Chains A and B, each alone.
Chain A
Amino acid sequence: MANFILRKAEPRDVPDILRLIKELAKFEEMEEQVVLTETELLQDGFGEQPFYHCIMAEVPEDRRSSDGHTVVGFAMYYFTYDPWIGKMLYLEDFYVMKEYRGMAVHTQYIHSTAVKSRCSGMHFIVAEWNKPSIDFYKRRGASDLSHEEGWRLFEIDKEYLLKMSAK
């Protein structure tokens, strides 16, 4: 029997998705920044025009976690657009519960999303202090575009968006 399976998320997975999002945020010491709710996740992921797609990692019953979970990881992605090459896939987050790491779940996620998309490329961002992740991606052939081409990521938050849209 396989150690785990990967499958498409369903509406019933929403509580587990939020639980895992919070676990990852806790690991990044940013747990209080998660303001997303189950209602929003349900609306945004399973409505007429989904804002995201999710792949879940699930273990068999006999390998459930100490607090009873069989859903032990997730990968969230959505489609973006490069005006020069067309459709792209953007990997937003992926995470595996600590006790289930080392089974190559992370690697399988990436492979899985890459093959399903038929897109020209896959983009994502990584914090420069997160050396294990950067090495993980570079070993698999990713290029660091901030380094090679000088791209810098910018953000305008709600306060300034409201100011701008009032003009």
Chain B
Amino acid sequence: MDFMIRAATPEDCKDISRMIMELAVYENMPDQVKISHEVLEQDGFCKNPFFHCLVAEVAEQYRTTEGYTVIGYALFFYTYSTWKGRSVYMEDLYVMPEFRGEFPGKGVGTALMSKVAQVCKEQQCVRLQFSVLNWNTPSLDFYKAKGAQDLTDSEGWHVLRFDGEALDKLAQMAPKN
């Protein structure tokens, strides 16, 4: 099957938005998607973009029944380690189910991730980090086969978050200077 990996353009945001929703459905959290493709366009293509995106596109003859040729994406951004410097965090990696691997390690997912790894190299980043849900066995297997280490397991790291009311409360207590 012919496909290519390329940097996303603002015009791709409708497809990226569609696939974000598909991934949310897979993770059993579809009602949590609050932003539109317009917000993605704004945030991903401004002067200091808040994220970067690669898309996977198939040749015309492989388009889906609904007519899509953009069939996968990887969304990532730069982070910083106080010990080692520049890093990349891959927020999402998704390939539409009908385009996933007959040949593990040679398909669209691997190609997307390899391109992200290339970006890491070009930007002198020391590591690539991402999170996976503990029940997502296909993904856990996919990443472990590529040499990923589970840091929650080996080092005990937990992901914490402040949002909504808790974040507002916090902000209200900020010093005035």
Q: Determine if A21 and B82 form an interchain contact, defined as CB atoms under 8 angstroms apart.
A: yes
Q: Determine if A129 and B156 form an interchain contact, defined as CB atoms under 8 angstroms apart.
A: yes
Q: Determine if B82 and A142 form an interchain contact, defined as CB atoms under 8 angstroms apart.
A: no
For the complex, is B7 an interface residue (Cβ under 8 Å from A)? no
**Interface residue range, chain B:** 35 or more
For the complex, is B26 an interface residue (Cβ under 8 Å from A)? no
A36-B82, A123-B160, A140-B166 in contact; A107/B173 too (CB < 8 A)? Answer: yes
Question: Cβ of B120: which chain A residues have Cβ within 8 Å of it?
Answer: 161, 165
Q: Determine if A108 and B174 form an interchain contact, defined as CB atoms under 8 angstroms apart.
A: yes
Q: Determine if A152 and B170 form an interchain contact, defined as CB atoms under 8 angstroms apart.
A: no
Q: Determine if B127 and A52 form an interchain contact, defined as CB atoms under 8 angstroms apart.
A: no
Nearest-neighbor residue (CB-CB) of A141 within chain B: B166
For the complex, is B9 an interface residue (Cβ under 8 Å from A)? no
For the complex, is B60 an interface residue (Cβ under 8 Å from A)? no
For the complex, is A149 an interface residue (Cβ under 8 Å from B)? yes
Q: Determine if B148 and A154 form an interchain contact, defined as CB atoms under 8 angstroms apart.
A: yes
**Interface residue range, chain A:** 35 or more
Q: Determine if B150 and A83 form an interchain contact, defined as CB atoms under 8 angstroms apart.
A: no
Query: Which of A49, A86, A134 sits near B35, CB closer than 8 Å?
Result: A86
Show the binding face of A for B, using Cβ within 8 Å.
Answer: 2, 5-6, 21, 24-25, 30, 33-36, 40, 44, 49-52, 76, 78-87, 90, 92-93, 107-108, 110-112, 114-115, 120-129, 134, 137, 140-147, 149-165, 167
Show the binding face of B for A, using Cβ within 8 Å.
Answer: 20, 24, 29, 32-35, 39-40, 43, 48, 50-51, 75, 77-86, 89, 91-92, 110, 113-114, 117-118, 120-121, 125-135, 143, 146-153, 155-167, 169-175, 177
**Please, could you name 17 A-B residue pairs with CB atoms under 8 Å apart, sorted by A?**
A25-B82, A35-B83, A86-B35, A111-B172, A111-B173, A114-B171, A120-B167, A121-B167, A125-B158, A140-B162, A141-B162, A145-B158, A152-B132, A158-B126, A160-B146, A162-B117, A162-B121
